[in-house]
Amino acid sequence: GDSVTQMEGPVTLSEEAFLTINCTYTATGYPSLFWYVQYPGEGLQLLLKATKADDKGSNKGFEATYRKETTSFHLEKGSVQVSDSAVYFCALSDRNNAGNMLTFGGGTRLMVKP
């Protein structure tokens, strides 16, 4: 079955540091890949997505490239801010699944210190 593995947290960084959160996946079909962010006490917000190999998703300074050869979708940001502190979830949606339900990774908590 489909699965998503992402690096365990927490990840603690100083403001303006470079961020990488690793994410790898296994899927039987041709998945779309997503990064969601969850701020404390809130639901999930879509951060970025990519629907096919070599696509790069980007938003709010975050980027992730769909790498089919390494089955990866690592999240990066060049300079993090305190306001980026949240939990980040990598997820995939396999087009072979009816309704496109999501399979989530375990989540990575990011803490950015001033």
Does residue 44 bind other proteins (CB under 8 A)?
yes
Member of 46, 56, 82, 83 binding other proteins (CB under 8 A): 46
Does residue 36 bind other proteins (CB under 8 A)?
yes
At residue 53, what are phi and psi to the nearest 5 degrees?
-55, 140
Question: Which residue lies nearer to other proteins by CB, 19 or 32?
Answer: 32
Does residue 31 bind other proteins (CB under 8 A)?
no
CA distance 29 to 37: 25
CA distance 41 to 18: 26
Range in contact with other proteins (rule: CB under 8 A) among 13-21, 22-30, 76-84, 100-108: 100-108
Closest to 49 (Cα-Cα) out of 59, 40, 41 = 59
Q: Kindly state the smallest distance separating residue 110's Cβ from other proteins, in Å.
A: 14
Strand ranges, E, within the chain: 3-6, 11-14, 19-21, 23-26, 31-38, 44-50, 56-59, 62-65, 75-77, 86-94, 102-104, 108-113
Does residue 83 bind other proteins (CB under 8 A)?
no
Member of 3, 81, 83, 100 binding other proteins (CB under 8 A): 100
Binding site for other proteins (CB under 8 A): 32, 34, 36, 41-46, 49, 89, 93, 98-107, 109
